[in-house]
Amino acid sequence: MTDVRKLHEEWNQDPAYHEAYEALRPEFELAGELIAARSRAGLSQAELAERMGTTQSAIARMEAGRHWPSRRTLERLAAATGTRLVFKLVDEAKAAV
């Protein structure tokens, strides 16, 4: 099985791929944070959905980056996973280091 990270590194050498990936970076980062919060809480997608009063497929769409959740949905997810929602603005020049 091919390691996804290795493929990403290889494909990232292509300027078109790199540009498309960077445009989607916020979605990838949010999806990763959602999956990490659920995992730390020890919950399946179905269990998280039940706690949030939604469906497993809605959780799957958020975790796949196919749905940008509202602030209210993120607050419900935080409460359901025992986490706290924090928004912050990051200086791009410092973030690149």
CB 49 within 8 A of CB 55: yes
CATH superfamily of 4-95: lambda repressor-like DNA-binding domains (1.10.260.40)
pLDDT grade for 92, boundaries at 50, 70 and 90: confident
pLDDT tens digit string along 6-31?
Answer: 998 999 999 999 999 899 888 989 99
What confidence score (pLDDT) does residue 83 get?
Answer: 97
For 34-82, the pLDDT digits (tens) are: 999 999 999 999 999 999 999 999 999 999 988 899 999 999 999 999 9
C-alpha separations of 57 from 47, 63, 64, 95 in Å = 12, 10, 10, 33
